């Protein structure tokens, strides 16, 4: 009956790239052979809508089953689908003429696009959830068509209430407080502009800049600017998320999602005009019971992160009452209900159909917890050291206690992170900070879950499914077999332990086998990509990337090379006294520091420096080199890559490394006619964003593609360089860079000096014997 009723129908679907949408498209294509689909999809930032259909829908494993049965002619399936670029946040859905005509030819519109995240900013939730359905109805009225509009909403529009929640509009129920959706829309838009204005106040902008600097260090002006702007935008968003939560709570909804959905139903009812509307309200949608395959799920949704956090031992308690009901419904039941409602047609379909389990086949919180902890005890997740994680026992605590606990943990971790960030750490030690940060982010996330989802486990509303069961009653056996949407068919223990948990554990890509962490595999994989013959140019930083030394050490070595012991002591005392000032300058601006520091070479005789620098190459540079790093440069060369050294060091100090590189970009100092150094730079020492520019210019001049370039560096000040290339490699990263590299999934290398090699305590040249000194430079010769 259902398949026949929908045969020959053209169905428009919004939100097809979402969880329900993908399942819906798949089900219609598979189980309703006679229908045609028009998918309304938003253009992505880089991918146009049509491409998204291929990439995000047909490539999904939901289609494995269809693909298997249509071995050779999957195109006969996809040819039933057309894509139009549209956006429910724009009036008229932003359709062009042709697409509008195609849309106008549809018999049914299924609206499943929504901002489902519980912590969406208020304004975007309003634009999508509140105004989205109305915009569709408006468009239909404008064109003058009356397709059957099936709008997907949520059971939670009923708000925070106890007892039965029937299938009726909120405004028709006894607890309506008469909120006007139009003023909510206006208020949310005003809030957006207020928050935006506030974010541009002087204090706030300064704060964002400070935060950006703390995070990135001396990464150069452009990187800092972009980070600052990013922080401002995030702040605005956070304000609006906060505002949404507060507003929803103030009027009796658990969050902005349910709140805007409720008003969306109201708005749709108000503006629908001649368009016939059926609303379908699922509760919490989880993985598929059977269709297209048991456990199928798309995206990481609401309960999954909570369950995984629990299994990883991050969340040892989650608020909720043991006898409370968790209203969960498998996605295939929701999809089948939507299709059934569409098949009934505008006349026979109920105005509102709730698809939920609480009223008819409730899953109690205790049962859920028992099954989950039992399953994870049997199938533990393994930590990074390959040890199984034992899940804690649930004690059903109140929300306040859990929140307080997590809050304390977060405070401790944040403090620890701050301390570590301010220590001059490098390499593996710097990773501690990254690890703490990861822990903190995890705690923060857990805290958010508790805040957001805690309300749902505490929700004691029972969603009635009378209309759903009426529709179920009208089906014949064929439809009941093909389109099962009877919530009573779910056996919860089986569903949880055999369908849902195995599926989400697989999706979460957590470790389910003992043994060492997979991250080394990932690094090895990335190393292989970096060492691929297709790469073109490889840029290397010098200090702490290839050698554990710096410009100050090189200078000290050269400066002391010809001093006797008392002079050396004086030199070091002087340098120690200057150190704090130099450090400060270095933190503020690397280029200024270098320029200032290199003045010290003023009057140095060129010939003597060059000779001493040759000696220094063996005694300081090679002694402090990272053999793995030098080998890597050579590996790149052997693969035919161009290698460039980009360093703020002076050219004569890196002369010895020349055979390793096709190009050396270093600081150059001008030479006076009397063959002494002037202490002034010929070119600005390449630091920060200048390095990125140098590499890009080089690629441009030589015809290389920056996306095929590799950059090795050690500091967050090299961020612009990292961002300019396709393959960034963080070497012995300092704290900030370690955190950034971890977040962005960059290859991290830990290179060290040759173990056992000489470790001179001070960077000084070997002492000349007094006789030699006299002989070489005459008595009284100073440096």
Using rule CB under 8 A, residue 394 touches other proteins? no
The rounded distance, in Å, linking the Cα atoms of 289 and 335 is 11
Stretch that binds other proteins, among 24-32, 360-368, 583-591, 620-628 (CB under 8 A): 620-628
Would you say 397 or 656 has its CB closer to other proteins?
Answer: 656
The residue within the footprint of other proteins, chosen from 623, 643, 715, 716 (CB under 8 A), is 623
Using rule CB under 8 A, residue 759 touches other proteins? yes
For the bound state, the minimum distance from the C-beta of residue 645 to other proteins, rounded and expressed in Å, comes to 13
The rounded distance, in Å, linking the Cα atoms of 209 and 132 is 36
Stretch that binds other proteins, among 195-203, 391-399, 538-546, 613-621 (CB under 8 A): 613-621
The residue within the footprint of other proteins, chosen from 67, 190, 401, 631 (CB under 8 A), is 631
For the bound state, the minimum distance from the C-beta of residue 648 to other proteins, rounded and expressed in Å, comes to 23
Q: Which two tokens stand for residue 542?
A: 């010098």
DSSP state of 390: P
Q: How far is CA 165 from CA 359, 459, 617, in A?
A: 9, 12, 80
For the bound state, the minimum distance from the C-beta of residue 657 to other proteins, rounded and expressed in Å, comes to 9
The rounded distance, in Å, linking the Cα atoms of 670 and 649 is 14
For the bound state, the minimum distance from the C-beta of residue 637 to other proteins, rounded and expressed in Å, comes to 9
The residue within the footprint of other proteins, chosen from 656, 679, 726, 760 (CB under 8 A), is 656
- Cα torsion at 236, 237, 239, 240 (round to 10°)? 120
For the bound state, the minimum distance from the C-beta of residue 425 to other proteins, rounded and expressed in Å, comes to 23
Cβ neighbours, 10 Å, residue 179? 17
Using rule CB under 8 A, residue 639 touches other proteins? no
Closest C-alpha among 381, 370, 309, 378 to residue 493: 370
What's the angle, vertex CA 692, arms to CA 614 and CA 224, rounded to 5? 120
Query: Using CB atoms within 10 A of its CB, is residue 744 exposed (0-12), middle (13-18) or buried (19+)?
Result: exposed
The rounded distance, in Å, linking the Cα atoms of 775 and 778 is 6
Which pairs with CB-CB distance under 8 Å and at least 24 residues apart come from 216-219? 216/716, 216/717, 216/719, 216/736, 216/740, 217/715, 217/716, 217/717, 217/734, 217/736, 218/587, 218/588, 218/589, 218/590, 218/688, 218/716, 218/717, 219/688, 219/689, 219/716, 219/717, 219/718, 219/719, 219/720
Using rule CB under 8 A, residue 781 touches other proteins? no
Would you say 440 or 632 has its CB closer to other proteins?
Answer: 632
**What residues between 668 and 727 interact with other proteins by CB under 8 A?**
none
Closest C-alpha among 267, 309, 306, 313 to residue 284: 306
What is the biggest distance separating any 2 CA atoms in the chain, rounded to whole angstroms? 113
The rounded distance, in Å, linking the Cα atoms of 448 and 435 is 20
Using rule CB under 8 A, residue 622 touches other proteins? yes
Would you say 400 or 757 has its CB closer to other proteins?
Answer: 757
The residue within the footprint of other proteins, chosen from 55, 574, 614, 774 (CB under 8 A), is 614
Residues 6+ apart with CB under 8 A from 317: 392, 394, 395, 397, 401, 402, 405
Stretch that binds other proteins, among 325-333, 561-569, 611-619, 679-687 (CB under 8 A): 611-619
Cβ neighbours, 10 Å, residue 760? 14
Using rule CB under 8 A, residue 273 touches other proteins? no
Parallel/antiparallel/unpaired status of strands 36-41 and 81-85 = parallel
Using rule CB under 8 A, residue 627 touches other proteins? yes
Partners of residue 426 on adjacent β-strands: 734
For the bound state, the minimum distance from the C-beta of residue 557 to other proteins, rounded and expressed in Å, comes to 14
Using rule CB under 8 A, residue 523 touches other proteins? no
Using rule CB under 8 A, residue 611 touches other proteins? no
Using rule CB under 8 A, residue 731 touches other proteins? no
* Helix, strand, coil distribution of the chain in percent, nearest 5: 55, 10, 30
Stretch that binds other proteins, among 123-131, 255-263, 628-636, 740-748 (CB under 8 A): 628-636
Using rule CB under 8 A, residue 566 touches other proteins? no
Using rule CB under 8 A, residue 325 touches other proteins? no
Would you say 623 or 715 has its CB closer to other proteins?
Answer: 623
The residue within the footprint of other proteins, chosen from 756, 761, 779, 782 (CB under 8 A), is 756
The rounded distance, in Å, linking the Cα atoms of 730 and 438 is 18
Using rule CB under 8 A, residue 659 touches other proteins? yes
Query: Using CB atoms within 10 A of its CB, is residue 677 exposed (0-12), middle (13-18) or buried (19+)?
Result: buried
The site string for other proteins over 167-206 (x = CB under 8 A, - otherwise) reads ----------------------------------------
Query: What phi and psi, each to the nearest 5 degrees, are found at residue 167?
Result: -85, 75
Using rule CB under 8 A, residue 411 touches other proteins? no
Size of the site for other proteins (CB under 8 A): 25
Q: What SS3 state is found at 173?
A: coil
Would you say 574 or 634 has its CB closer to other proteins?
Answer: 634
Q: Which two tokens stand for residue 551?
A: 């410009």
Would you say 225 or 618 has its CB closer to other proteins?
Answer: 618
Q: How far is CA 56 from CA 41, 296, 499, 698, in A?
A: 11, 15, 23, 37
Q: What is the CA radius of gyration of the chain?
A: 33
Using rule CB under 8 A, residue 643 touches other proteins? no
Parallel/antiparallel/unpaired status of strands 677-681 and 669-671 = antiparallel
Would you say 480 or 637 has its CB closer to other proteins?
Answer: 637
Q: How far is CA 303 from CA 21, 114, 145, in A?
A: 19, 18, 40
Query: What phi and psi, each to the nearest 5 degrees, are found at residue 318?
Result: -135, 130
For the bound state, the minimum distance from the C-beta of residue 618 to other proteins, rounded and expressed in Å, comes to 4
Using rule CB under 8 A, residue 778 touches other proteins? no
Give 350-382 as a 3 state SS string.
Answer: CCEEEECCCCCCCCEHHHHHHHHHHHHHHCCCE
Stretch that binds other proteins, among 270-278, 570-578, 731-739, 753-761 (CB under 8 A): 753-761
Stretch that binds other proteins, among 155-163, 476-484, 654-662, 734-742 (CB under 8 A): 654-662
Would you say 590 or 624 has its CB closer to other proteins?
Answer: 624
Partners of residue 285 on adjacent β-strands: 329
Would you say 325 or 625 has its CB closer to other proteins?
Answer: 625
The residue within the footprint of other proteins, chosen from 473, 758, 778, 780 (CB under 8 A), is 758
Would you say 174 or 756 has its CB closer to other proteins?
Answer: 756
Using rule CB under 8 A, residue 428 touches other proteins? no
For the bound state, the minimum distance from the C-beta of residue 781 to other proteins, rounded and expressed in Å, comes to 15
Would you say 124 or 554 has its CB closer to other proteins?
Answer: 554
Would you say 547 or 710 has its CB closer to other proteins?
Answer: 547
The residue within the footprint of other proteins, chosen from 337, 371, 484, 619 (CB under 8 A), is 619
For the bound state, the minimum distance from the C-beta of residue 445 to other proteins, rounded and expressed in Å, comes to 39
Using rule CB under 8 A, residue 601 touches other proteins? no
Would you say 488 or 614 has its CB closer to other proteins?
Answer: 614
The rounded distance, in Å, linking the Cα atoms of 699 and 312 is 45
Using rule CB under 8 A, residue 549 touches other proteins? no
Would you say 533 or 756 has its CB closer to other proteins?
Answer: 756
Question: Tokens 């959706």 identify what position?
Answer: 181
Using rule CB under 8 A, residue 761 touches other proteins? no
Stretch that binds other proteins, among 336-344, 585-593, 675-683, 747-755 (CB under 8 A): 747-755
Stretch that binds other proteins, among 45-53, 199-207, 656-664, 719-727 (CB under 8 A): 656-664
The rounded distance, in Å, linking the Cα atoms of 39 and 16 is 7
Summarize as ranges the residues that interact with other proteins (CB under 8 A).
614, 617-619, 622-625, 627-628, 630-631, 634, 656, 659-660, 753-759, 766, 775
């Amino acid at each position: 009956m259902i398949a026949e009723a929908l045969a020959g129908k053209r169905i428009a679907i919004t939100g097809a790239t979402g969880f329900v949408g993908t399942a819906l498209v798949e089900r219609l294509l598979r189980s309703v052979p006679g229908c045609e689909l028009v998918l309304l999809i938003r253009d992505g930032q880089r991918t146009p809508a049509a491409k998204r259909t291929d990439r995000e829908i047909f490539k999904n494993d939901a289609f494995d089953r269809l693909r298997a049965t249509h071995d050779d002619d999957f195109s006969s399936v996809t040819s039933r689908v057309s894509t139009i670029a549209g956006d429910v946040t724009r009036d008229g859905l932003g359709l062009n003429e042709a697409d509008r005509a195609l849309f106008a030819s549809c018999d049914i519109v299924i609206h499943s696009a929504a901002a489902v995240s519980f912590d969406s900013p208020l304004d975007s939730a309003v634009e999508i959830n509140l105004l989205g359905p109305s915009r569709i109805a408006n468009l239909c009225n404008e064109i003058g068509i009356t397709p059957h509009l099936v709008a997907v909403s949520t059971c939670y529009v009923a708000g925070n209430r106890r007892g039965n929640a029937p299938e009726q509009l909120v405004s028709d129920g006894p607890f309506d407080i008469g909120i006007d959706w139009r003023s909510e829309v206006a208020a949310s838009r005003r809030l957006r502009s207020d928050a935006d204005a506030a974010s541009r106040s002087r204090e706030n902008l300064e704060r964002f800049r400070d935060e950006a600097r703390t995070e990135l260090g001396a990464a150069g002006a452009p990187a800092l600017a972009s980070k600052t702007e990013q922080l401002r935008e995030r702040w605005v968003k956070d304000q609006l998320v906060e505002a949404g939560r507060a507003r929803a709570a103030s009027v009796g909804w658990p969050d902005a999602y349910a709140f805007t959905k409720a008003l969306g139903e109201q708005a749709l009812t108000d503006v629908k005009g001649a368009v016939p509307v059926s609303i379908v309200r699922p509760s919490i949608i989880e993985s598929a019971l059977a269709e297209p395959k048991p456990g199928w799920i798309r995206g990481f949704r609401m309960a999954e992160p909570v369950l995984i956090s629990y299994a990883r031992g991050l969340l040892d308690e989650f608020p909720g009452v043991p006898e409370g009901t968790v209203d969960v419904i498998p996605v295939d039941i929701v999809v089948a209900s939507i299709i059934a409602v569409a098949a009934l047609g505008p006349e026979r379909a109920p105005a509102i159909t709730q698809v939920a389990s609480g009223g008819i086949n409730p899953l109690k919180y205790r049962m859920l917890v028992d099954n989950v902890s039992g399953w994870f005890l049997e199938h533990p997740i393994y930590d990074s050291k390959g040890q199984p994680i034992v899940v804690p026992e649930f004690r059903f605590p109140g929300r306040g206690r859990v929140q307080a606990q997590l809050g304390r943990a977060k405070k401790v971790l944040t403090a620890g992170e701050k301390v570590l960030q301010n220590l001059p750490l490098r390499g593996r030690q710097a990773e501690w900070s990254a690890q703490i940060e990861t822990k903190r982010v995890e705690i923060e996330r857990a805290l958010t879950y508790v805040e957001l989802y805690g309300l749902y486990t505490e929700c004691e509303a029972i969603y009635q499914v009378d209309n759903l069961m009426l529709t179920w009653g009208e089906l014949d056996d064929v439809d009941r077999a093909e389109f099962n949407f009877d919530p009573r068919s779910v056996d919860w223990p089986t569903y949880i332990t055999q369908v849902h948990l195995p599926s989400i554990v697989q999706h979460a890509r957590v470790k389910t086998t003992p043994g060492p962490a997979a991250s080394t595999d990932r690094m090895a994989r990335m190393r292989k990509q970096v060492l691929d013959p297709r790469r073109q140019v490889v840029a290397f930083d010098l200090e702490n990337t290839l050698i554990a030394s710096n410009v100050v050490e090189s200078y000290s070595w050269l400066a002391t090379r010809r001093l006797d012991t008392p002079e050396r002591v004086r030199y070091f005392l002087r340098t120690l006294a200057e150190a704090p000032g130099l450090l400060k300058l270095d933190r503020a601006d690397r280029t200024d520091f270098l320029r200032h520091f290199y003045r010290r070479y003023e009057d140095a005789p060129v010939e003597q420096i060059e000779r001493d620098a040759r000696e220094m190459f063996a005694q300081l540079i090679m002694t402090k080199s990272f053999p793995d790093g030098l080998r890597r440069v050579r590996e790149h060369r052997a693969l035919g890559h161009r290698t460039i050294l980009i360093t703020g060091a002076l050219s004569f100090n890196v002369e010895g490394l020349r055979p390793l590189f096709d190009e050396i970009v270093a600081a150059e100092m001008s030479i006076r006619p009397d063959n002494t150094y002037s202490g002034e730079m010929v070119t600005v020492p390449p630091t920060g964003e200048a390095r990125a520019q140098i590499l890009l210019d080089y690629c441009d001049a030589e015809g290389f593609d920056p996306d095929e370039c590799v950059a090795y560096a050690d500091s967050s000040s090299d961020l612009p360089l990292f961002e300019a290339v396709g393959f960034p490699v963080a070497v012995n990263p300092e704290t900030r860079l370690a955190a950034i590299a971890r977040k962005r999934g960059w290859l991290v290398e830990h290179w060290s000096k040759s173990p056992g090699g000489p470790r001179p305590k001070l960077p000084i040249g070997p002492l000349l014997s007094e006789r030699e000194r006299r002989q070489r430079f005459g008595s009284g010769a100073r440096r």
